[in-house]
């Protein structure tokens, strides 16, 4: 892409759960970055049943930024996957970018992803240069990433990096079902299965300034593990079994001919 202006329209959205302290800085940086690089854009925040003052903060930000800021509200927390699915459904532009509302990814690095968007590209995915988290989260994250990549035969190097630019037509062509963080595996696996071109770009991961991770809680980890196994059954085992059935049927037919 040669022009400094992004030649497509762009939806940017953030799933947010109790992220009130980080949202003003994040949304402000987002509008500044988009104004400098994109002509046609919208910004969406999915408030996933937050119990803090996220709703109040979003009302104030809405007054500041007007119609270009859209707010989707879940009265009850639907989980990370549920928040992403709502954000994808609300996105109306040609490309969709999302990252987390906690501010651990630098939204000003978005132009590095926009540069690689093109007619043949379905996904531009960030990969963390260095993870700024406590050591146990780094270890668990690395193990989860390697386990999921091998289990689902995913080529993407960093499934766990929620810094993604996706062609909206691609999103509309796949059906996402997960409600937990497992949706990241489902999303990447189904996009890779379409055969579209995938580009990976290094991005910074920042230290958390506010709150705590929702993923690294026992209930969230348990839900993710159960959904991961169920997803593996649907996306890997079921097609493998069906392929073997078809192969056996062909052999049987050939043997009787």
Closest CA to 161 of 183, 135, 186, 128: 128
11-67 pLDDT, tens digit per residue, is: 999 999 999 999 999 999 999 999 999 999 999 999 999 999 999 999 999 999 999
Position 221 in a domain: no
Q: What's the predicted TM-score (pTM) here?
A: 0.85
216 has a pLDDT exceeding 60: no
Position 32 in a domain: yes
| pLDDT bucket at 1, cuts 50 / 70 / 90 | very low
- Taking the C-alpha atoms of residue 92 and residue 90, their distance in angstroms, rounded to an integer, is 6
Average pLDDT of the segment spanning 69-79? 96
Position 131 in a domain: yes
Position 244 in a domain: no
- Taking the C-alpha atoms of residue 19 and residue 232, their distance in angstroms, rounded to an integer, is 31
Position 239 in a domain: no
180-205 pLDDT, tens digit per residue, is: 889 999 999 999 999 999 999 999 98
| pLDDT bucket at 4, cuts 50 / 70 / 90 | confident
Buried b vs exposed e over 8-42: b needs ≥16 C-beta within 10 Å?
Answer: bebbbbbbbbbbbbbbeebbeebbebbeebbeebb
Position 211 in a domain: yes
Position 163 in a domain: yes
Beta-strand relationship, 197-203 and 163-167: unpaired
Q: Which domain holds residue 70?
A: 10-216
Beta-strand relationship, 197-203 and 121-128: parallel
Rounded alpha-carbon distances, angstroms, from residue 76 to 13, 82, 88, 167, 202 = 19, 11, 18, 29, 34
123-160 pLDDT, tens digit per residue, is: 999 999 877 666 677 787 788 888 889 989 999 999 98
Q: What is the pLDDT of residue 212?
A: 59
| Domain total in the chain | 1
State the CATH number of the domain containing residue 83. Answer: 3.90.550.10
206 or 35, higher pLDDT = 35
CA dihedral 205, 208, 210, 213 (to 10 degrees): 90
Longest alpha-carbon distance in the chain? 74
Average pLDDT of the segment spanning 215-223? 64
| pLDDT bucket at 217, cuts 50 / 70 / 90 | low
Locate 62 and state its tokens. 């809405």
Position 144 in a domain: yes
84-123 pLDDT, tens digit per residue, is: 999 999 999 999 999 999 999 999 999 999 999 999 999 9
Q: What are phi and psi of 130, to 5 degrees?
A: -155, 135
Q: What is the pLDDT of residue 255?
A: 65
Contact criterion met (CB below 8 Å) for 91 and 168: yes
């Amino acid at each position: 892409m040669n022009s400094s202006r992004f030649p497509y329209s762009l939806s940017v959205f953030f799933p947010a759960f109790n992220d009130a302290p980080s949202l003003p800085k994040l949304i402000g940086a987002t509008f500044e970055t988009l104004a400098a690089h994109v002509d046609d854009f919208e910004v969406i925040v999915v408030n996933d049943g937050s119990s803090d003052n996220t709703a109040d903060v979003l009302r104030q930000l809405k007054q500041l930024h007007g119609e270009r800021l859209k707010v989707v509200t879940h009265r009850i927390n639907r989980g990370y996957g549920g928040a992403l699915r709502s954000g994808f459904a609300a996105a109306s532009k040609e490309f969709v970018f999302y990252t987390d509302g906690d501010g651990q990814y630098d939204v000003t690095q978005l132009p590095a992803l926009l540069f690689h968007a093109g007619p043949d590209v379905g996904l531009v995915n960030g990969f963390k240069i260095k993870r700024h988290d406590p050591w146990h989260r780094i270890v668990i994250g690395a193990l989860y990433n390697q386990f999921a990549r091998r289990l689902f035969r995913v080529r993407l190097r960093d499934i766990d990096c929620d810094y993604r630019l996706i062609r909206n037509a691609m999103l509309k062509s796949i059906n996402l079902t997960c409600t937990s963080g497992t949706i990241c595996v489902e999303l990447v696996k189904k996009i890779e299965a379409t055969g579209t071109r995938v580009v990976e770009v290094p991005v910074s991961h920042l230290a958390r300034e506010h709150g705590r991770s929702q993923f690294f809680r026992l209930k969230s980890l348990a839900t993710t593990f159960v959904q991961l196994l169920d997803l593996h059954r649907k996306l890997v085992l079921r097609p493998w079994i069906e392929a073997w059935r078809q192969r056996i049927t062909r052999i049987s037919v050939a043997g009787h001919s």
